[in-house]
Amino acid sequence: MLYLLLIPVMGLANRIRGYDISGGAWMAGGILGAVVAALTWNIWASALLIPAFVLGESFGWTKYISTVKGHLTQQQYNEQWADVDTDIWSYPWDRVASLFVDPRQDYEKHTNIGMALRGVVFIAPVLIVLCAFGLVPLVYAVPAAVVGGIAFPMTYKFVYGINMLGFRYLQKAETTYGCVYGAILAGGLALGVAY
């Protein structure tokens, strides 16, 4: 049951990661590592979770966060974002998503595909570390990474119109997705103990 602590802790940690402060991702990874160390007593896995979290977090997503449905009309997207590659790390998601749908025709589908791919890459390094140390079973980690990917755009769309304690859009989305991320990890760790 203590694994459930990862849900609010990762909600907070992911919000810290989202602050525009130097080292926010490292602080969030450190929080994750410290909590997993306290829960599992596996210091090596916990130490490796810090760079794994930062690695997963490091790949760009600015274009997708800014173009979640509800922010823009298709015409506004075409004028403001269609030809923008926000950074080198966003490039792969943009290109792969474009294989499925032309963003100038349906930017919402394009954004959802790009964010889902990005979401898989966000959580996968942490799940790989947990699997490597036998803390999460591989049969859980693979579908969990896919669920984490699908949940990424869904979370951002879900919180867009919700008033949540006066939080701004990104604050709501980062906190909510952090809780989802924490729930995925909590489920895997609980299953790993039972496995």
- Condensed to tens digits (0 to 9), the pLDDT of residues 121-138 reads 889 999 999 999 999 999
Percent of all residues in the chain with a pLDDT value above 90, rounded to a whole number: 27
3-state secondary structure 167-179: CCHHHHHHHHHHH
DSSP state of 162: -
- Condensed to tens digits (0 to 9), the pLDDT of residues 15-24 reads 777 665 567 8
How many domains does the structure of the chain reveal?
A: 1
- Condensed to tens digits (0 to 9), the pLDDT of residues 47-103 reads 999 999 888 887 666 666 666 666 677 787 777 776 665 555 556 777 788 889 888
Where in the sequence is the domain holding 124, given as residue range(s)?
2-194
Phi, psi (deg, nearest 5) at residue 157: -70, -40
pLDDT given for residue 169 in this prediction: 73
pLDDT given for residue 107 in this prediction: 82
Distance CA 108, CA 122 (A): 20
- pTM, two decimal places: 0.85
The DSSP element (H or E) to which 76 belongs, if any, is helix 74-80
pLDDT given for residue 85 in this prediction: 58
Distance CA 22, CA 150 (A): 28
